[in-house]
Structure 1
Amino acid sequence: MRRPTIMLLAAVLPAAALSAMGLPSAAVAQDAASETTRAAQAELAKRLPLDDPRDEANVMRGKLAEIPDGVILGKDGKTVWDRRPYDFLSQTKAPDTVNPSLWRQARLNAVHGLFEVVPGKIWQIRGYDLSVMTIIRGKTGWIVVDPLLSEETAAAGWKLFAATIEAKEGKRPIKAVIFSHSHSDHFGGVGGVVSAADVKAGKVRIIAPHGFSEEATSENVLAGTAMGRRALYMFGAILAPGPMGQVDTGLGPKLSSGTIGYMEPTETVSDKGGTLTIDGLQFDFMDAGGTEAPAEFVFYIPAYKALHTTEVVTHNLHNILTLRGAQVRDALRWSKVIDAMLLKWGGSAEVAMGSHHWPTWGTGEVSELLTHQRDAYRYVHDRTLFLANRGATLHELADQTAEAPVQATDFSTRGYYGTLNHDMKATYQRYFGWWDGNPATFNPLPPEQSAPKYVALAGGADKLLAAGKAAIAAGDYRWAAELLNKLVFADPANKDGRAALASAYDQMGYQAESGAWRNYYLAAAATLRGTEVAAATSNGQSRSFVSAIPTGVFFDALATRFDAAKGRALNGTFQFILPDSKEAVAVVVEGGVEFPRYGVTDAAPTATITIDRKILDDVMLGQAQFPALLQSGAIRIDGDRMAFLSWFALHPPADPRFHVVEP
């Protein structure tokens, strides 16, 4: 799962801006669950074995200690993690405003603390971030796997481990850190458990899959502003916790809001996998790149009969395409990697533990988990192509497909994060693209242009509003949302239209089994009402993370900000020289296109800009601005200075508060 990076800015449209538009800024009452929603919740509860005690037993198994109240503070005293607002999850029965299956998952994810997985050998820190940190006993020290998203949560988790285990057994050094894959919630907290100095001195090994460095430091940078904006909706960061708000993400409780760091791996595992001895303990690695992450592996520890499934196998159906936006994943390869795990370790592993959720114990249970997860992803892939090859389009696939048979009995395959609906659409997109094959949808009008025409066709705003409200009254919320969305896009100041659309989103959010779907629907409703809360997720990247972003990626990202319309007539080459990193980038501008050539030195540039990479890092961190740097002499410009300034002015920053559910 791709998560916050350098470009994620947790900002929402302030209430003052809404008021200026003539829209509500005071709290607006959120709808209660409708009779249709209550009936849907009851029907699902009736057909699922919600009282199956096995997951609850596994969640609590081996619990040794916990952080009081689940509260973690940063060095500045600000709250990085706080589970107290989620005390409402203590009640067993789901409220009408939460899907009963998601409620079950949220209660399981809410359990936090230090847990013993293999007696005296393996422990996990769970419930203090979206992800899970695993600690393994080596011959002379500890091996840490996936040190969470934030340095603060990782440090607090390690402190709990040290106070509970090392206090009894004696202090031992961390000998290695394993990054299981290239998503930041599995490496961002590394600075909270080990120091860069110890890594540089060779005291700590950092082991990652091949391709890790490039993927971990560059993904989402190019499209980070848009991804970050959508992430606020997907993770419910602009929702207050509660039975009518954010309850869980499905994959874990929520994102922490601390500092994301980075350390370069000292060694990587090739795409062939293979064995490594880490602090006297043998690990058997299998490449899983191209499944949930582009750089990923799973591994088995024969001495402990323990399988780490990373994020390839978790206790939910994962995303083939995340709501936040990412490159489409490969459901077919995903299923084949799981089958390879099953064939290689299914008969010997006595425990399977992942980078999220809780472990599964027992050889038979581990094999069953792998089998069911494999079948779920294969079902997504094969049913998509079965229907597509018979003419079904992207928007028809899911409505023609019942859930996989295994999903009726195995909660680990249910759509708490990804969904069968969206995973099939994503698989269709992977093979056929966004277009459904109908020429009427070759080049449709954008919503802002088509919406007024739909309103006129309906006989005016009042009639369209009445039709939308009638659909809500009938419990046809999808149709209501489709109608009322036209009204809002035609007239975003229409208070009744906004309120009615928010009501439809409320009910779809309440019914959603996916935490991501619920969050997106309810956050959309909050936006329409003007009741968003300040984003709870505001991750800050450390210098170590920013410095690791490849210079070429930085300039590619800069090129995406080039205003081609205003810069159409500009031609020239701007040569950047970075003395401290011994790098060069020639930026060629012509015909409204900006093309960076990394490692190239132009013979006759329009201007040459000499700037240390460290100064560029200051700019990315928001600690310096180019105009001030020019005045201070931190940047040297040779050649046509005015041409450079004109070019630089053509890179306005994107507004991270852009609208999502309105024009």
Structure 2
Amino acid sequence: MRLARLALLISATFAVMSASAAPKPATPLTEQSHAEWLRKLPFSDRADYEDAKRGLVARFPERTIKTADGNVAWDFDAYAFESAADAPSTVNPSLWRLAQLNNEAGLFKVSDRVYQIRGNDLANMTIVEGDTGLIVIDTLLTAETARAGLDLYYANRPRKPIVAVIYTHSHVDHFGGVRGLVSEADVKAGKVAILAPHGFMDEAVSENVLAGTAMSRRAQFMYGINLPKSATGQVDTGLGKATARGTMTLIAPTVLIEKPIDTRRIDGVDIEFQLTPGTEAPAEMNIYLPQFRTLCIAENAVRTQHNLLTLRGAPVRDAKAWSYFLAQSLLRYGNRSDVLVGQHHWPTWGREKIVELLSDQRDMYAYLNDQTLRLMNQGYTPLDIAGQLKSLPPALANKWYARDYYGSVSHNVRAVYQRYLGFYDGNPAHLNPLPPVPAARKTIEWMGGADAVLAKLRDAYARGEYRWVAQIGNELVFADPSNAAARALQADALEQLGYQSENATWRNIYLSGAMELRDGVRQSGAAGTSSSDLVRALTVPNFFDFLAVRLNADKAAGKTMTLNWRFSDLNQRYAMTLRNSALTYVAEAEHAQPTATVTLSKATLDQISLKQLTLPQAIQSGAVRIDGNPQAVAGLFGMLDTFESGFNLVTPRGHQQ
């Protein structure tokens, strides 16, 4: 889970939920689509249902996990509606199956001395019993869910202290709960070691920060944050039920794994680390426990096709590298493993099944990468390729763990194209097209006007051509967002696409779009504050980079400024320059004759970033000293934009419904 998801949780956790227009039922054509799914996939295979429950030690005793102020961080009853055996007509039966499996929550025994906490957050917590203490692999997203998981473990197993925490990778759902398990004081005292892959801190605190606001807005659609949990709303995320609401924390690693293969002994447990950079996360590693013949595959193999490009937006992942490292894991550990655990979903038992799963997932990412490149080199465009590679080869497509629940063939092949060739498909007509609104207005005008287009769209909807209705309906909505009939029909089409979708994130995006077309954009109420741990972990260059992104070029036009920044506690200096509406800086340098020199501590900068302190207050208290032009810094901050995440997605920017 990337830092953009953190921004999402900050902005949306306490969003004001207004009454929504009632969703529509599934159409007969959607019900027909579901019947076809039931025919083409092996629903009689119930092995995953048995494995998802295997080793159950105890369920969570309480029906909710709460934060210190009484808010609900996790509700175990939120998905009680999914207990029905048969999928309702508004949910794809394949997705319904996964949603039921992801509902299994509790403490599970995986093998001797290896346990998992599952079903109380998006990810899993794995606990390895050492000779005198516990080794925790990944900590969930929030301190509250992590503490509840540890409490459940202690209620059923001997109470041993935690001696080590291992972060498998740099996504926040795998480290955000750490303070619910251990204290920073114990870490500093050497009582608890925290291990992470090389590059963890840089990726954990800086990945996607610069585009975080836009990503958080898109992630609201991807995870269905504002959708009700119901058969006509959010039913799953593909990786798990949902993201917990609570306190996200971070304690920096004390040990970094830097060698490709690194073997260590922790509290009597031999652990072999395999670095897998550039796969599911930029900083990630697998973990092998030879004494227990157990392989933790981190998030490199899950029970779904994963994303090569997340729909909230992020740098494209490398399918070739992903396939390569899975091949290396298979070669090194496949014949030595009796159980494979992932940090999402349930384990795989048995050497043959482990080899098959790793082989299939290796082949899946290789197929997506290589077949996209093959068609790309034949001159096909992203949508051409998505149209030709509609699914994986049948032998793979019939495996439940290769289905399109989170990633999809459609958007993953387009991601591969983007990784190699970028956004432009080579067609000159696509080089400099009109922006969405003027293009939509001209399109609708050429098609005979809004009434004529609406009539054709209604006919297409009646024929079940929901993708086409969504595509052309979008043009009509952007040409005239006040056209209530157009918005309503567009919403109806998106809704049916959501009901039909096997992919949890596609469903959430379609249904979120339908909701906002009907109800408008929901604005946040009393927003939570960002995680102070993550803000403190940002480096000064991280902060300056974000200042540069916020600089409004029009406000800065014609202005020049040079600032020296001195951080008294870090003994660091930076020379910053404002020129040509661009804000740049150089580390370990100073201007000879600056406009002003700013002296402060990193802790003061953190307080300003967290809005615990304003710049004038900091100056008045002496926490910030400015030598030279006293108005320079205030002038710079006056040129900065403030980003709001409630911008429009399914209607033109600036349109108020």
Shift of 1:637: 1.4
CA distance in 2: counterparts of 1:425 and 1:499, whole angstroms: 30
Contact 1:309 1:353 in 2 (8 A): yes
Alignment of 1:168-317 (within 5 A): 171-317=159-305
Q: Which residue of 144, 147, 155 corresponds with 1:152?
A: 144
For structure 2, the residue ranges without an aligned partner over 5 or more in a row are 653-657
Q: Which residue of 547, 564, 584 corresponds with 2:536?
A: 547
C-alpha deviations, 1:453-482, integer Å up to 9, x for none? Answer: 111111111112222222211111111011
Alignment of 1:116-155 (within 5 A): 116-119=109-112, 121-155=113-147
Q: Which residue of 590, 593, 614 corresponds with 1:601?
A: 590
Shift of 1:273: 1.9
Alignment of 1:37-116 (within 5 A): 37-68=30-61, 70-116=63-109
C-alpha deviations, 1:113-135, integer Å up to 9, x for none? Answer: 0100003x100000111000000
Contact 2:521 2:646 in 1 (8 A): no
CA distance in 1: counterparts of 2:25 and 2:596, whole angstroms: 62
Whether 1:644 aligns to 2:636 is no
Q: Helix, strand or coil for the counterpart of 2:170?
A: coil
C-alpha deviations, 1:163-220, integer Å up to 9, x for none? Answer: 1112xxxx21111000000111100111110110111011111111111111111112
For these two proteins, the number of residue pairs brought into alignment is: 650
Contact 2:3 2:212 in 1 (8 A): no
Whether 1:442 aligns to 2:431 is yes
- RMSD of the TM alignment (CA)? 2.0
Q: Which residue of 552, 557, 581 corresponds with 2:546?
A: 557
CA distance in 2: counterparts of 1:451 and 1:424, whole angstroms: 27
Whether 1:36 aligns to 2:37 is no
Alignment of 1:334-373 (within 5 A): 334-373=322-361
* Letter of the 1:10 counterpart: S
Q: Which residue of 618, 636, 639 corresponds with 1:629?
A: 618
Moved more, 97-106 or 25-34: 25-34
Q: Which residue of 586, 596, 619 corresponds with 2:575?
A: 586
CA distance in 2: counterparts of 1:377 and 1:299, whole angstroms: 21
1:13 and 1:258, CA in 2 relative to 1: closer, same or farther beyond 3 A? Answer: closer
1:545 and 1:12, CA in 2 relative to 1: closer, same or farther beyond 3 A? Answer: closer
Contact 1:257 1:539 in 2 (8 A): no
Q: Helix, strand or coil for the counterpart of 1:594?
A: strand
Alignment of 1:450-599 (within 5 A): 450-530=439-519, 540-599=529-588
C-alpha deviations, 1:479-524, integer Å up to 9, x for none? Answer: 1011110111111111111111100100111111111110011001
Partner of 2:11: 10
C-alpha deviations, 1:519-551, integer Å up to 9, x for none? Answer: 011001111111777879977543222111111
Shift of 1:243: 0.3
C-alpha deviations, 1:210-246, integer Å up to 9, x for none? Answer: 1111111111211110011111110000101000000
Shift of 1:616: 1.6
Q: Helix, strand or coil for the counterpart of 1:364?
A: helix
C-alpha deviations, 1:337-375, integer Å up to 9, x for none? Answer: 111111111112000001100000011111111011111
Q: Helix, strand or coil for the counterpart of 2:382?
A: coil
Shift of 1:274: 2.0
Moved more, 529-538 or 358-367: 529-538
Shift of 1:335: 0.8
* Letter of the 2:193 counterpart: R
Contact 2:441 2:479 in 1 (8 A): yes
C-alpha deviations, 1:253-281, integer Å up to 9, x for none? Answer: 10011111111111111142221111121
Moved more, 615-624 or 101-110: 615-624
Q: Helix, strand or coil for the counterpart of 2:79?
A: helix
CA distance in 2: counterparts of 1:313 and 1:536, whole angstroms: 38
Q: Helix, strand or coil for the counterpart of 1:202?
A: coil
Contact 1:232 1:535 in 2 (8 A): no
1:256 and 1:536, CA in 2 relative to 1: closer, same or farther beyond 3 A? Answer: farther
Contact 1:258 1:539 in 2 (8 A): no
* Letter of the 2:376 counterpart: A
1:26 and 1:57, CA in 2 relative to 1: closer, same or farther beyond 3 A? Answer: closer
CA distance in 2: counterparts of 1:599 and 1:185, whole angstroms: 35
- The runs of at least 4 consecutive aligned structure 1 residues that moved more than 6 Å come to 12-16, 531-539
Contact 2:16 2:524 in 1 (8 A): no
Q: Helix, strand or coil for the counterpart of 1:177?
A: strand
1:641 and 1:397, CA in 2 relative to 1: closer, same or farther beyond 3 A? Answer: same
* Letter of the 2:88 counterpart: P
CA distance in 2: counterparts of 1:14 and 1:57, whole angstroms: 37
Q: Helix, strand or coil for the counterpart of 1:397?
A: helix
CA distance in 1: counterparts of 2:15 and 2:155, whole angstroms: 43
Contact 2:14 2:527 in 1 (8 A): no
CA distance in 2: counterparts of 1:150 and 1:447, whole angstroms: 39
Partner of 1:20: none
Moved more, 221-230 or 403-412: 403-412
1:541 and 1:406, CA in 2 relative to 1: closer, same or farther beyond 3 A? Answer: farther
CA distance in 2: counterparts of 1:409 and 1:317, whole angstroms: 12
CA distance in 2: counterparts of 1:10 and 1:70, whole angstroms: 25
1:118 and 1:540, CA in 2 relative to 1: closer, same or farther beyond 3 A? Answer: farther
Shift of 1:597: 2.2
Shift of 1:45: 1.2
CA distance in 2: counterparts of 1:283 and 1:488, whole angstroms: 57
CA distance in 2: counterparts of 1:472 and 1:585, whole angstroms: 60
1:60 and 1:258, CA in 2 relative to 1: closer, same or farther beyond 3 A? Answer: same
1:538 and 1:191, CA in 2 relative to 1: closer, same or farther beyond 3 A? Answer: farther
C-alpha deviations, 1:554-601, integer Å up to 9, x for none? Answer: 110111000012202111112222212322222211001111223332
Partner of 2:655: none
Partner of 1:19: none
* Letter of the 2:269 counterpart: L
Q: TM-score, normalised by structure 2?
A: 0.96
* Letter of the 1:474 counterpart: R
Partner of 1:22: none
1:539 and 1:334, CA in 2 relative to 1: closer, same or farther beyond 3 A? Answer: farther
Contact 1:238 1:532 in 2 (8 A): no
Shift of 1:619: 2.2
Q: Which residue of 393, 396, 403 corresponds with 2:384?
A: 396
CA distance in 1: counterparts of 2:57 and 2:324, whole angstroms: 36
CA distance in 2: counterparts of 1:527 and 1:258, whole angstroms: 26
Q: Helix, strand or coil for the counterpart of 1:384?
A: helix
Contact 1:523 1:532 in 2 (8 A): no
Contact 1:273 1:284 in 2 (8 A): yes
Contact 1:332 1:378 in 2 (8 A): yes
Moved more, 593-602 or 106-115: 593-602
1:242 and 1:2, CA in 2 relative to 1: closer, same or farther beyond 3 A? Answer: same
Partner of 2:157: 165
CA distance in 2: counterparts of 1:261 and 1:619, whole angstroms: 19
